[in-house]
Structure 1
């Protein structure tokens, strides 16, 4: 259900069964069986040629699950010293074990954070979701400038790659060239010292970064 919600959160259509199976690394038959149960419970709708979407009830349940996951990720980084590439799997394991009381205390201890270590908005207790103004880097035109405000946590190895490049939340980037034939976007990265360096980002990396545009 979190996968379906995240797809809609990022502006995507309903998810196909094969996409869910590929992401979770399970068989399509396993996914289909679970989807039938969720459908019976009134949590999803599965429309041919459109995919799986959440019902209003499913939306409520999924938002609560996402809130739990992202708060735990934030706690692991802020209080236990985890790096951003380590927390996704840990949070997946822990989120099913903690109580709402524990979660509320984590939220209060962290000062009610609005975004997790990857820049993903953390749903509030009332189910509303903070704004996230970024645009996918791959959709930005050459010459555009902005600050990285969100990075996909789907692939820990990609997060480690960004660390090597010095690209993370708050990094200022300017799109220099889009080389469609090579599947590469060339960006200028502004370092902490104010110096700029040119970085070639492959398509997989560019599709994992959201850029908040500079104010005019």
Structure 2
């Protein structure tokens, strides 16, 4: 198995075999006699998986579904594509990527009636790769009424307050409305004394939500 790129793992009374892509394709439990399985059974699983390279090409082609791979193979769309034994094995990455959360209930939710009456605001970053201008963060402003979005790119979290001041002046001038409520999570960059002082001086209600709780924002 090691020579063919496979790996094994023992965990409790379960025995796992992973293929060359690192995906689990065999999971067997320990027998009553204390043994996991016979060598011939291991070889049967390993060599069957060795001949089936469809999981590998599934990843190479950007996680195409099995039906698309079969269509590509039958029509010779890809040069040097081997004959694939298309199986129904599930891809762990695809399963995780297709998982979703149920929509948040909107019962009793109060929406803004005017522009800039309520602004949702959040910061994302730092990113592993910076932009061409050296930015690794970005801030997003969303108007609760119109769902208008503004995006500002930042090199550091230290520029959060300055960016908010720029946004406030720009949005108020363009809309002829006054920013009234700013709703953000409880991140440290939003609760500094300087940030709170600016909101108080500008008569902006500073609302904080629990971290990693988008249900409180009601903005999907």
**Alignment TM class, shorter chain as reference:** under 0.3
Higher RCO (CA-CA < 8 Å; seq separation 6+): 1
TM-score under structure 2 length normalisation = 0.23
TM-score under structure 1 length normalisation = 0.23
Q: State the structure with more CA Rg.
A: 2
Bigger helix share: 1
